[in-house]
Structure 1
Amino acid sequence: MHDFSPDALRVAMLARVVFPLHGFGGIERHVFHLTTHLARLGVRITLYVQTPHGHTLDLDDDPARPINPYADVLPGIERVMTLRYDYTSPALRPNSIAGRQINYPWYSWRLGRIAAAAARRGAYDVVHAQGLCAFGYGWIRVRDPLLRRVPFIANPHGLEEYRTPDWRKWLAYAPFRALYSYGTRCADRAIATDACTQDDLPRYLGVDPAKVVVIPSAIDADECLAPVNDATRAALRQRFRLDEEDLTILSVGRLERNKGYHILIDALTRLRERLPSRWRWLLVGEGKERRALERQAQRAGIIHHVTFVGRLSDAELHNLYEEVDLVVHPTLYEGSSLVTLEAMIHRRPIVASVAGGIPDKVFNGRNGYLARPGDADDLASRIRLALEQRDRWATWGAESVRLVRETFDWPVVARRTKQEYEVMVGGRGERREARGEGHEARGERGEARGARGPTMA
């Protein structure tokens, strides 16, 4: 456990999932890196997440007691509070669209009530909500003048529910959009994860533009590079027979329609005559689109150039980045795109879609090329341009590393987040009063401090 300063900021982080307790996705990793890097900066974090599968913790919500039973995998976090998420029957997947519509609003509401009880006791200087977790706390806060004294910041993330072109998903996501929009509007600050997407929060969620702050999503650059070693790289070259190829293209992501891999198959088919005879496309990831993509590649006559890799460990993936020539990310819509950042820190040239936060990271002729989402001809043209400038790839790689290290590395982003907290809190004197050290605050909160909050299971 860290030895925190008496004046350390105290932050309640409201989330549903965190790596590695709940998987390996982008949100899970975002919460993990944000909280652990903030802890390294001396911020006292109380993390609220769903109870991990197979765990039956019953934690007492007493802010005076530092409890982190997961300190071995969540280092530096002062307290981890867990709350049941799945209230559906075994016949309904908890994170299916229908399952989420039952589970997530109830989880967010219960989470909000518990966090609000602690905030009323003066436990936190800032409340920070991830995604839909802003809804429950936000609803309670706008009706409680005491809670409105505690700064509240929300991060709605990639806004997939607003961007999907599938009308069936659009209708199914309607409840989520309402809750996302309401919860985010309740906050004092709303985080846009890229400068090029900051107007999306007023456009989609109705957030006051004056409340929007840009704090990028990030990767831990050193963590990405640490696993790279000659033995693993050699094993991957042998496993995928990369020494036999003159060109290796890599894509990484869930095999879902919105990732645009069907567009990339069309683009590679158009480029066949311009590619070397020995080329390979490695597609890392799993998902329901795999069979459709295999059939499409078979019909196009390029299946013998395509390898469906499936899932790789983090160490394997970061070593594989070092062995490929070009990374292509043909997504139809996107959030911040951590895959793009991973390719950049490994100095790979990138061809990606003009979607989400990608235009803040990939610049035509500087470290890759951007293509129109869903346009196979434009994607093929951009891949061709990148291949024609192979002699510039080393310069592109250096530019990518500079961009990541200066803007999109977690130590940088955590410092930016902490600075925003400090601006919201408004100075050390106000923070002491909010903690109950002023006479008026002691009078308001003395009785509340004597009561224990609800138990979290």
Structure 2
Amino acid sequence: MNASFRHDDHAPLRVAMLARVVFPLHGYGGIERHVFHLVTHLTRLGVAVTLFVQEADPQRVAGSDAASQAITQGLARVVYLRYDYTSPALPPNGVVGRQFNYPWYTWHLGRVAAAAVRRNEVDLVHSQGLCATGYGFIRQRDPLLRQVPFVANPHGMEEFRTPDWRKWLAYAPFRSLYAYGHRCADRAIATDACTRHDLPRYLGVDPSRVSVIPSAIDVEECLGFVSPALRSQLRHRFGLAESALTLLSVGRLERNKGFHVMLAALAQLRHELPPTWRWLLVGNGKEESALRDEAATLGLAEQITFVGRLDDAELHSLYEEVDLVVHPTLYEGSSLVTLEGMIHRKPMIASAAGGIPDKVFSGRNGYLVRPGDVEDLAAKLRLALARREQWPAWGEESARIVRTTFDWPVVARKTLNLYRELLV
């Protein structure tokens, strides 16, 4: 490394975090929360993070909640960039809008980050998702920038996993940009050990440049949302006191989440389930009407509750009131929903998709299921019901797995260790 860019071991490590969105300024999704927790936990470890994100609603920036303050008032310096370059009549994150906005955003983001590196304000650059592309392109053409380590995290890579041919075509430009940007990095992060080979396969990343750092949840934050009063309200609202078995699934109501597979499996088990069983389905989405119709056709409508969207306190309080969490997804990234159910000490039945096999272990904390296989899901539900006396032990094992491997303090330290390795 050039002496002018050598990091002073006695000074805070300076990291440029390249992202598009962060919780709570831009929403509540998985990537938004990932960026928030990564930035805040690295800061607690003494890292000086500059966060680059798209412009936010001024009301959210000025918000008084603790999460907004953590981002905007001292835990991270924030640099805002324009994202929407299209007509006001065009949704900025629609299929067409993203084709224009994201490439322009990542290009301008790359230029701003490169300028900060050249001013010797940054010791390491870390990108999230497609934000690797612009900086990677500029870095490949500037030997000075290549002296500063570059880490890239592609996250779940849904653009490479969708079975919908229309989405596959729409995502074609993004797949190309994703692959290029991550090949430019010194290290590309696989969010689960069982998916590390996806980066060479889908992105063409050299296997020697792949590091495994899990996606995580903040255990104390999740458990802190639980409210005895809310638990009582939810029990009454959904009639859970009268339920002999309560199943819970959480996710967008879209075809790829596999909830239609769950309906078919439950139909097979209707005579083996307790008379007062319930399935609570939390989330909104375009498949809701079709799922309701299918539940009615199968004669399951009375046992199934479409809960809609819940806020964090409601959701985490509800986890405490159910018996078994089922995640029948057809394809998946790392699956934060699975971790949420696990930290609430729940036995899990989940598809062997994406990073889930690193979290759910058959016979230890639940069962893995072949994605999209109705017969296998019905069989695993039947097997779990036959071993219900083991559910408390499975739940404790779920929580142990999260606390030792997928809690943010653990994952932030692993990220910092990777930074230090690259800076040697």
Shorter-chain TM range is over 0.9
| Aligned residues of 1:218 and 1:410 also touching (Cα < 8 A) | yes
**1:199 aligned residue (189, 197, 200):** 197
Contact 1:47–1:77 under 8 Å retained in 2: no
Q: Indicate yes or no: 2:57 matched with 1:53.
A: yes
Q: Which residue of 1 aligns with 2:64?
A: none
Task: State, as a whole percentage, how many aligned pairs show the same letter.
Answer: 68
Q: Does 1:10 align with 2:8?
A: no
Whether the aligned pair in 2 keeps the contact of 1:191 and 1:214 (CA below 8 Å) is yes
* CA deviation vs aligned residue, 1:236-291 (integer Å, no higher than 9, x gap): 10011111111110000111111111111111111111111111111111111111
Partner of 1:329: 327
Following the alignment from structure 2 to structure 1, what is the Cα–Cα distance between the partners of residues 387 and 121? 56
Match of 2:177 among 173, 176, 179: 179
Give a deviation string over 1:64-87, Cα, whole Å, max 9, x none: xxxxx9535556433100011112
In the alignment, is residue 384 of structure 1 matched against residue 388 of structure 2? no
- Matched to 1:9, the amino acid is L
Match of 1:35 among 36, 39, 46: 39
CA–CA distance in structure 1, aligned partners of residues 26 and 230 of structure 2? 27
1:137 aligns with 2:135: yes
Correspondence for 2:27? 23
Secondary structure of 1:272's aligned partner: coil
Report the residue type matching 2:285 in the other structure: G
Q: Which residue in the other structure is 2:267 paired with?
A: 269
Q: Name the residue aligned to 1:157.
A: 155
Q: Match of 2:414?
A: 416
Q: Output the CA distance in 1 between the equivalents of 2:183 and 2:375.
A: 40
Q: Which amino acid aligns with 2:407?
A: D
Residue-pair matches, total: 411
Give the conservation status (yes or no) of the 8 Å contact 2:126–2:151.
yes
2:347 is aligned, of 346, 349, 365, to: 349
Measure how far apart 1:229 and its partner are.
2.7
Amino acid at match of 1:220: D
**Structure 2: how far apart are the matches of 1:56 and 1:19?**
10
CA distance in 1, matches of 2:381, 2:112: 51
Aligned to 1:435: none
TM-superposed deviation, 1:382: 0.7
Q: Say if 1:112 and 1:136, in contact at 8 Å, map to a contact too.
A: yes
The one-character-per-residue Cα deviations of 1:370-425 (angstroms, maximum 9, x if unpaired) are 11101111111111111111111111111111111110000000000000000001
What is the TM-score of this pair, normalised by structure 2? 0.95
The answer for the alignment partner of 1:102 in structure 2 is 100
Cα distance change on mapping 1:158 and 1:56 into 2, 3 Å: closer
Computing the radius of gyration from Cα coordinates, the structure with the larger value is 1
Aligned 8 A contact 1:39 1:76 in 2: no
Partner of 2:219: 221
- Is contact 1:36–1:75 with CA below 8 Å preserved after alignment? no
CA offsets 1:29-55 (integer angstroms, 9 cap, x no match)? 000000000000000000000001357
SS in 2 for 1:417: helix
Residue 360 of structure 1 and its aligned partner are, at CA, apart by 0.2
* Structure 1 stretches lacking a partner, 5+ long: 58-68, 427-457
Does residue 1:80 correspond to 2:84, yes or no? Answer: no
Q: Which has the higher contact order (CA 8 A, sep 6+)?
A: 1
Q: Distance in 2 between matches of 1:253 and 1:75?
A: 32
8 Å Cα contact 2:342/2:395 also seen in 1? yes
Question: Do the aligned partners of 2:40 and 2:71 also contact (CA within 8 Å) in 1?
Answer: no
In structure 2, give the amino acid aligned to 1:254: R
Counterpart contact for 2:70–2:76, Cα < 8 Å? no
Query: Structure 1's 292 and 36: CA in aligned 2 closer, same or farther, altered over 3 A?
Result: same
After superposing the two structures, state which structure 1 stretch, 377-386 or 24-33, moved more. 377-386
**Letter of the 2:170 counterpart:** A
Residue 436 of structure 1 is matched in structure 2 by: none
Deviation at 1:91, TM superposition (A): 2.6
1:234 counterpart residue number: 232
The equivalent of 1:402 in structure 2 is: 400
Question: Which residue matches 1:60?
Answer: none
CA contact (8 A) 1:163 1:333 kept: yes
For each residue in 1:4-26, what CA deviation from the matched residue of structure 2 results, as whole angstroms up to 9, or x when unmatched? x9511100000000000011000
CA distance in 2 between partners of 1:87 and 1:261 (Å): 36
Give the one of 145, 148, 173 matched to 2:146. 148
C-alpha contact (below 8 Å) 2:24/2:68 kept by paired residues: no
Deviation at 1:97, TM superposition (A): 1.8
| Aligned counterparts of 1:267 and 1:105: Cα–Cα separation in 2 | 42
Contact 1:193 1:217 in 2 (8 A): yes
